[in-house]
Amino acid sequence: MIVNYTEAGWEIITQRSHGLLAAQICAQWKKSQQPQRWVETLIATAEHDDAHHELEREDLLEETGGPKNFKAIPFEEAYCEKLLNLALGKGRYMALLISRHIHFLYGDDPGAKSYCQELKKREKRWLKEAQTSKEEIARSYQLLEFCDALSLLICQQAVQPEQRAIEISKGRDGKSYQLRAIDQQRLTVSPWPFEMDSFRINFESRLLEQLTFKDTKEFKQAFFSAPVELQEITISRND
Query: How many structural domains is the chain composed of?
Result: 1
Element containing residue 39 per DSSP (H, E): helix 38-47
Taking the C-alpha atoms of residue 190 and residue 175, their distance in angstroms, rounded to an integer, is 10
Please give the Cα distance from 13 to 207 (Å, whole number).
9
| pLDDT in the model for residue 113 | 95
Residue 51's pLDDT is 74
- DSSP for 212-223, please give it: --SSHHHHHHHH
Within 10 angstroms of residue 203's Cβ, the number of other Cβ atoms is 22
Alpha-carbon gap, residue 134 to 141, rounded angstroms = 10
Look at residue 172 in the predicted model and tell me its pLDDT.
65
pLDDT (0 to 100) of residue 88: 95
Q: Are 199 and 232 in contact (CB under 8 A)?
A: no
Q: Please tell me the predicted confidence (pLDDT) of residue 217.
A: 94
Give the domain extent around 218. Answer: 2-236
- List per-residue pLDDT tens for the chain, 239 residues long: 999 999 999 999 999 999 999 999 999 999 999 999 999 999 999 999 887 777 888 889 999 999 999 888 889 999 999 999 999 999 999 999 999 999 999 999 999 999 999 999 999 999 999 999 999 999 999 999 999 999 999 999 999 988 899 999 876 667 899 999 998 789 999 999 999 999 999 999 999 999 999 999 999 999 999 999 999 999 999 87
